[in-house]
Amino acid sequence: MTSALTNKKRILKTFAKKEIDRVVFSPRLYYWYFGNKLFKRRVKRDQFKSSIPDRFLHKSQLEIYKMLKAAPRYSQETLYLPLFQTQINSEAAIEKTTQRGSKEGETITEYKTPLGKLTQTTAIGGGFGAHYTEFPVKSVEDIKIMKYVFDNTSFSFIEENFHKAEELFGDNGVVSDYLESSPYQKLVKELMGFTRTVIMLKRRPREMENFITFLEEWDDKMYEKATKSPVSIINFGENIDANLSPPPQFEKYLLPYYQKRVKQLHKGGKYCHIHMDGSLKDLLPYFKELPFDGLEALTAQPQGDVSLEEIKEAIGDKILLDGIPSILFLPQYSNNYVKKYTQKILDLFSPNLILGVSDELSPNGDIRKIELINKVLRNHYS
């Protein structure tokens, strides 16, 4: 067995398939931290979504990771330092305005361009993250407007943020980030929504296929910048769900795209993984064809629709990032259940594993179970 390593070295060795002394624990705490308003110095207990011990109060996320002896993953979540950004050209005659809607938690964004106007609306429901209630592209005419917006939008790497994040992470983690979604996923999640995307692909195939090709060509500059950047691990923030990306679409629009882009990043010396956090059973047969080094957030039963054994069979020796369903951090699941579940993951996936929550600890999740998992992990290697 190798001598003790830092979390940073363990993560890099895990992706390189080299020997490690123990699996890294890397739970994403962003939603839990912000959902409970722990960033406020005068936070009140009635704002908490769950029971939080005093030792976690008035601490930064980075301080909490160090307390837990766990590794942070994304600098933009932990440090509010994104590594990549998009920016609309100020000389392109595009006016982007954002205002509150009439409903609580609603935000309306408008893009006014020489070709016309686009409107999108997002809302925050019972959780913490926003979701679209109105997508900006609603017609073929809107596609032309959105193309104009993309034609005048640049993608860049923020070198200053990377170096600052590296300094703050130190040896406790690898500074990483996720890229814009693939064209099909961008249509479903951000531009048109699932229903309109499917209908338009059927009714206006030529215009839609041209739009997808256009978005893929726009992505060329994104992957060129990412490949040349010093970021060593790149995540495809796809949020794959088989209900929204069923086998026909997955085969046609996603699998070839992933093979092309991962090959590009691998040539630049990068490791790659993809975020897949929804229903997965119908996509299991494709997992061995996926070119990624790892798969993030695969959500197993009792939250997802696949078992841990099915996931293991499907991914082979690819790296699993996370593994512990976020639902287990709710009160109805006992500490003993969580311990046994964690041990099962360790037995099935080690050493090709970066242990964490699939996919994030929710605001009402019990942080004390994170500490419990850490004890299971330590006992596993004692």
Q: Among 3.30.365.10, 3.30.565.10, 2.102.10.10, 3.20.20.210, what is the CATH number of 7-90+138-380? A: 3.20.20.210
30-50: per-residue pLDDT in tens? 999 998 888 887 777 777 777
Q: Does 4 have pLDDT greater than 90?
A: no
Q: Which residues are CB-contacts of 275 (< 8 A; sequence separation ≥ 6)?
A: 178, 235, 236, 237, 238, 239, 240, 296, 297, 359
In the block, residue with structure tokens 């060509």: 217
| Alpha-carbon gap, residue 328 to 337, rounded angstroms | 8
142-155: per-residue pLDDT in tens? 999 999 999 999 99
Q: Which pLDDT belongs to residue 102?
A: 86
The identity of residue 55, as a single letter, is: R
25 vs 127, higher pLDDT: 25
Tokens, residue 43? 């936070």
Are the C-beta atoms of residues 275 and 178 closer than 8 Å to each other? yes
Q: Which pLDDT belongs to residue 345?
A: 98
| Alpha-carbon gap, residue 125 to 101, rounded angstroms | 14
Are the C-beta atoms of residues 122 and 132 closer than 8 Å to each other? yes
State the pLDDT confidence band at 359, using cuts at 50, 70 and 90.
confident
207-224: per-residue pLDDT in tens? 999 999 999 999 999 999
Could you please report the per-residue DSSP string of 76-91? HHHTS--SEEEEE-TT
Q: Which pLDDT belongs to residue 1?
A: 44
> What's the alpha-carbon Rg for the chain, to the nearest Å?
21
Q: What is the pTM of this model?
A: 0.95
Q: Which pLDDT belongs to residue 3?
A: 59
In the block, residue with structure tokens 């040896």: 171
User: Cα torsion at 257, 259, 261, 262 (round to 10°)?
Assistant: 150
Domain edges within the chain = 7-90+138-380, 91-137
What does the mean pLDDT of the chain come to?
95
| Alpha-carbon gap, residue 215 to 217, rounded angstroms | 5
The identity of residue 41, as a single letter, is: R
Q: Does 2 have pLDDT greater than 60?
A: no
State the pLDDT confidence band at 101, using cuts at 50, 70 and 90.
confident
254-276: per-residue pLDDT in tens? 999 999 999 999 999 999 999 99
Could you please report the per-residue DSSP string of 227-239? HHSS--EEEEEEE
Per cent of the chain over pLDDT 70 is 98
Q: Does 125 have pLDDT greater than 90?
A: no
Per cent of the chain over pLDDT 90 is 90
Q: Which pLDDT belongs to residue 50?
A: 76
Q: Does 312 have pLDDT greater than 60?
A: yes
Q: Which pLDDT belongs to residue 103?
A: 85
Strands (E), 184-270: 233-240
